[in-house]
Every structure is written in structure tokens, then in C-alpha cells.
Amino acid sequence: MRAVVTGGARGIGAVVADRLAADGFEVVTLDLDGAGGSVPCDIGDPVQVRGAAETVGPVDVLVNNAGIWRFAALEDVSPEDFDAVMRTNVAGAFHCIQAFGTPMLARGGGAIVNMISIAAPLADPGVGAYSASKAALLALTRQVAVEWGPRGVRCNAVGPGLVPTPGTSFYDDPEVRRVRADAVPLRRLGTPNDIADVVSFLVSPQSAYVTGQAIYVDGGVSQTLMELLPKPGGRTWAPAAGSGPS
Ligand SMILES: NC(=O)c1ccc[n+]([C@@H]2O[C@H](COP(=O)([O-])OP(=O)(O)OC[C@H]3O[C@@H](n4cnc5c(N)ncnc54)[C@H](O)[C@@H]3O)[C@@H](O)[C@H]2O)c1
């Protein structure tokens, strides 16, 4: 069995690639400039993606992990940054689905996992086009599941919460990390291994009847809205106390 992981040179993608290799896959990674021994490929360029697909050959698994973000208030997002985020996060995944997924149809099966984010279902203020791009990738996940399910190809999404990686070094401040971890019901940030465990499940026979789904691997943080709202009598839930309503 063969797998391809985009953005596999570092961060979550590198750990996912190692995990799939440990699961027994022959793994190829794609990344910009061939970083980290990857096949060089800018997934935003369909010509490069088609070339990479020819180089790599048929695969059973595609993990669309490569993604980028640009911080800006909505009114300040430049057209260039908007295009860059949509180009990699949406068009890039689309090109890979076409180039690596279409041959799966002829082979009668395969599994695709798209790396979204908790920013797909939730507004993420200050990150420009990122939420919109991940919501689009979630919609694409569902479309692939419905169109290609009858031909044996499953497609699911994994949505990480905050996972420290080279790409999130802007969260390196220990105090910022502590505050972010305290907001998570499981009281810690995610690790690339947390994400890789779920990707591993979603490309395995154990998830043979799972398609068109999004699994949020975020320690529960995406479920905490109600904890912020006042309860009757003006009380709020007090996560810091950890013992119940205050
Ligand atoms: N780390 C987090 O907190 C977090 C949270 C939610 C979602 N995610 C998603 O997980 C994925 C991986 O995130 P990460 O934190 O490991 O990022 P990262 O920046 O550490 O690594 C991303 C990798 O993708 C590659 N890449 C970027 N653009 C590319 C392109 N056009 N073509 C090929 N490769 C490209 C980069 O070179 C890099 O090696 C992304 O899709 C990201 O949106 C991450």
C-alpha cells in the first residue's frame, strides 16, 4: 500500500508520514522545493501536481496536509494574501484530489484525508481568508465522499486545534501557550501525534464505513462556547475552578 502526504517535510505532515510508514505504507511526501527529502511540488500549481503524480505513481492514500495562513484583520487582507491562502488550502487540495484521486477510481478504491481546522466550522477572527479556505476544504471533503463513494474512494477531514509546529512558532511564548492550554477541556495543546493517530485510523480498514466526516482533534475546545455564556442568576461555568458552576 502506498501513501502520499502533502506538506510532509515538517510539522504535522512529517509526523503523519512517519506514522503511515510505521503502519506499513510506502510513503512519499510532497513539499515546496523538495524540502526534507520530499518530491518537490507546489501544490497550488496544477502542472507541478500532475508532474508529481506521474513521478510518484498510483497511491492508495492521499493526505492533503499542506496549508498556510496569513494574519490580518478582514479590512486589511491583501488580494495577494487572499489568493495565496485559497490557492494552497483549497485549489492545492483540489489539484491533488484530481491528480492522485482519479487513478484511485480506476483501481477501485482509496482513502483521502483533508487537513482542515477548528477554524472551518468556527469563525477565526484575525486570520483573514483562513477560516473560509478550511470551510471550503470541508465542503470539498463532503463532495468527494458523495461523488466517489460509489467507486470505493472514502474522503474525510481532520480538524486540529492548536498544535505547536514550526508553522505556529508565533505561539512559542510560554504564557500564550499556557492560556491556550487552559482554555482546552483536556487542559493541553495538541501534538502532531494526536493528529497522526486519527489520520492513521481514517486511512485504515477500521474506518471502512466512515466517509464525508470531519473529526476535530482539539481536546474539546471547539465545544466550549456554552461555558462562556452566563447561566441563570448571572453565574458562569468556571473552568479554572474545575469543579462546577460558580
Ligand atoms: N499547527 C496547528 O496548530 C494547526 C491547527 C489547525 C490546522 N492545521 C493545519 O495542519 C496542516 C499542517 O500544519 P503545520 O502546523 O504542520 O504547518 P507547517 O507550516 O509547520 O508545515 C506545513 C508544510 O506544508 C508545506 N507547504 C506549504 N505550502 C505548500 C505548497 N503550496 N505546496 C507544497 N507544500 C506546501 C510547507 O513547506 C511545510 O513543510 C495545515 O493544513 C494547517 O492549516 C494546523
pLDDT digits 0-9 by tens, 67-103:
999 999 999 999 999 999 999 999 999 999 999 999 9
Where residue 239 falls among pLDDT bands split at 50, 70, 90? low
Question: What is the pLDDT at residue 233?
Answer: 79
Burial of 78 (0-12, 13-18, 19+ CB in 10 A): exposed
Helix H segments across the chain?
A: 11-22, 46-56, 79-86, 93-96, 102-107, 130-148, 174-182, 192-202, 225-228
Which residues have CB under 8 Å from 121's CB, separation 6+?
135, 138, 159, 214, 216, 222
Q: Is 219 in the pocket of ligand 1 (CB under 6 A)?
A: no
Mean pLDDT within 171-198: 97
Residue 168 confidence (pLDDT) above 90: yes
Residue 138 confidence (pLDDT) above 50: yes
Residue 241 C-alpha to ligand 1 middle, in angstroms? 35
Question: What is the pLDDT at residue 240?
Answer: 56
Question: What is the pLDDT at residue 230?
Answer: 86
Residue 246 confidence (pLDDT) above 60: no
Rounded to two decimals, what is the model's pTM? 0.96
Place of cell 483501481: 107
In sequence order, the β-bridge partners of residue 154 are 111
Is 130 designated active site? yes
Range 78-81, long-range pairs (CB < 8 A, 24+ positions): 81/128, 81/129
pLDDT in tens, 94-127: 999 999 999 999 999 999 999 999 999 999 999 9
Q: Is 115 in the pocket of ligand 1 (CB under 6 A)?
A: yes
Active-site entry in 130, 171, 209, 216: 130
Q: Is 162 in the pocket of ligand 1 (CB under 6 A)?
A: yes
Do 36 and 62 touch, CB atoms closer than 8 A? no
Query: Which set of grid coordinates corresponds to residue 19?
Result: 506514522
Question: What is the pLDDT at residue 238?
Answer: 61
Q: Within its chain, how far is the Cα of 170 from the centroid?
A: 19
> Which residue ranges form the domains of the chain, and what is each CATH number?
2-234 (3.40.50.720)
Side-chain half-sphere exposure of 121, counting CA atoms within 13 A? 15
Do 179 and 207 touch, CB atoms closer than 8 A? no
Q: Is 117 in the pocket of ligand 1 (CB under 6 A)?
A: yes
